């Protein structure tokens, strides 16, 4: 059972996580297009490797 104190910690942690996520999203949004394409290249290579492993 969550006490008021533990509920407060959880709420603060959640707010921090959400704020961190928002900041990361904003940072990624502002990346140069070329950098975004490099990230996409990497994601596509990873997906292809996974598909190859799964046969």
Question: Nearer to another protein by C-beta: 11 or 41?
Answer: 41
Sign of CA dihedral 9, 15, 21, 24: negative
Question: Nearer to another protein by C-beta: 32 or 55?
Answer: 32
Residues near another protein, by CB under 8 A: 25, 28-29, 31, 33-34, 36-41, 43-45, 47-48
Question: Nearer to another protein by C-beta: 16 or 48?
Answer: 48
Query: How far apart are the C-alpha atoms of 14 and 2, rounded to whole Å?
Result: 15
2 near 10, Cβ under 8 Å?
Answer: yes
């Amino acid at each position: 059972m969550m006490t008021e104190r533990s509920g407060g910690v959880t709420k603060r942690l959640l707010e921090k996580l959400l704020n961190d996520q928002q900041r990361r999203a904003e940072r990624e949004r502002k990346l140069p297009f070329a950098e975004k394409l490099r990230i996409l290249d990497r994601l596509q290579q990873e997906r292809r490797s996974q598909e190859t492993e799964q046969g």
